[in-house]
Structure formats: C-alpha cells, structure tokens
Amino acid sequence: MTTTGAAISNIAVIGTGIMGGPMAGRLAEAGYGVTAWNRTSDKAQGLKGLGVETAANAQDAVRQADVVLCMLSSGPVCEAVLDGEGGVIAAMRPGSVLLVMSSIPVETAVALGEAAAKRDIDCLDAPVSGGEKGAKDGTLAIMAGGRAEVVERLAPVFAPLGRVTHVGPAGSGALTKLANQLIVASTICAVAEALTLAERGGADPAKVREALLGGFADSTVFRQHGLRMVERNFEPGGPAKYQVKDTSTALGFARHHGLRLPISEEVDRLFQAMVDHGDGDLDHSAVILELQRMNSGGESTA
C-alpha cells in the first residue's frame, strides 16, 4: 500500500465518551474539521460548542474523512462498528487512514488492519494512556503499531493529543497498551493496599500520601489515584469495568503464549470481584472499597 502525502484536514471521531469527546475537542481546536458520531447521540451533540460537527450515523461521519479516529469501548464493539455489515471501513475513502485508539485485543487490531488494507486504507492501532485528564490536557501517551511512515504522516494529528511512540508492526500498539494496563492495575491495587494498611494502623492516609510524594513509591498513579482514594472521589475517569476488560484480555494473551503472570492474575480477580459487587461503573481507584469489603466481612461504604 502506498501512503499519500496529501494534507490532512478532515477527521472523523467515532466514539465520544470520556476519552473520545475531549480528544475530538482538541483536534477541532487545532484547526481540523472534525465530525463525530457516538452510539449515544447526546454525548456527540454536546461537542458542538467546541466546533465539532455531528453525524446521524457512523458511515456518514467518515465518508469525507482523511483520518478516522476510533475511540470505542471494546474489541467486539470496534469489530461491529468498523468491520460489521455496513460498517465504517466500507464507507471510508481509499487512501485514508483508520486510527484505532481503543484498547482492544492484539488479534482484533491485526484483523482490523487486514480488513482496512483490502480497501487500500492504512491502519494504525494506537491506544493511549493518561486517562480523562490526559485527554483534556493533550498529554496522552500514545503507543502506535503499524507502518512507521503512517505514524510519521499522522504526526500533526497526534500533536494536539499527546506524545506518540511507534512501537512496532500492526498489533504492537494494542500489545503495549496491555502491558501498560497490567502496570496501572497492579499499581492501583498496591496503592489501595498501602493506604488501607496505613489507615488500619492509625495513620492519616492523606498525610501518608503526602509523606511519600517524591520518594521511590511516587508515581502518576500514586499521585492521582491515591488522592482519589483519600478524598473518596470515584467519579469515573477510567471505569473499573474497563480495567478488568483489559487485565482479562492481557491474561488471555499471556496464556496463549504459555505465560503465567501471578500478580496480574490476583489483580484481575480483585477487579472482577469489585465489578461483581456492582462497582464496575466507579473509577478503578475505587478498588480500595473492595479491599475494605474483603477486610470487614461486609459491605464497604464510599
């Protein structure tokens, strides 16, 4: 496939939830013509004040787009919307680029790339890390799998969103995101355990967090999610139900390659228990509530 050097002016954003909405707004602010579609139309309509146009359906959103940015919730949803009957790929122009920034299985990323290639469409799997704050601030870490020249061509598109790194061929972006999610999930659980221990022992969790800032235990997760735990602010930036989706996907990939990841297995069980207890729509930092539930023998309270 030959990647053209044509300038990129029109971008379609498919999926305008917690992450996709702010990303669409930043791209419009950067001067791109942005058309958005979301399965729940109200979320897309709310972007009009940011200069984002809306489309009645996904196919109409992408017909004139140079780049189609997908930020849907899961692999199955991406497959259905992008490559299902009458899907997005079938409506895209040859020579355009499909930019899948959702967290999806490696196999799904490769399959979508193959489906796009049949229509002379380039494809990158380029998931992100940084959460809602990173999406709003344009500080996302973007891990791109696919052809290097396509990553280079899309550099101006990535710039308003964050920092991009080309990590390898198709599927590598999705694989890197799985690695990221294992680190994030296990760190959140470690922070939750540490603050639970401190509180049970009689220390002030807020002061413990303050004391550890700048030391070896410090991290973005510790700073942001430790504060959420201290303040009991569990409005979702990253819902727990999506965290367990990613840890389960990573463990499935590991099993396929003959790997045991015992820490991640326990972390996955903890988040799954949290979801099973009805807290899946809370931020993943609310895993501290599950730890309290385990240690109280009853229901925890936010």
Catalytic residues: 177
Write out the DSSP string of 40-52. SHHHHHTTGGGT-
Alpha-carbon torsion (30, 66, 18, 116), positive or negative: negative
- How far from 238 is each of 19, 49, 63, 76, 288, CA to CA, in Å? 9, 25, 31, 19, 15
Alpha carbon distance 223, 148 (integer Å):
34
Alpha carbon distance 111, 118 (integer Å):
11
The amino acid present at 92, given as its one-letter code, is M
Helix (H) or strand (E) holding 107: helix 106-117
Q: Mention every residue, 6+ apart, whose C-beta is less than 8 A from residue 283.
A: 225, 228, 233, 234, 235, 236, 237, 238, 239, 240
Query: Burial of 199 by CB count in 10 Å (0-12 exposed, 13-18 middle, 19+ buried)?
Result: middle
Alpha carbon distance 51, 90 (integer Å):
27
Both tokens of 148, joined, read 């290097």
Neighbours of 146 (CB within 10 A): 28
Both tokens of 12, joined, read 């379609």
The amino acid present at 203, given as its one-letter code, is A
Chain position carrying tokens 């029109």: 10
Alpha carbon distance 56, 39 (integer Å):
10
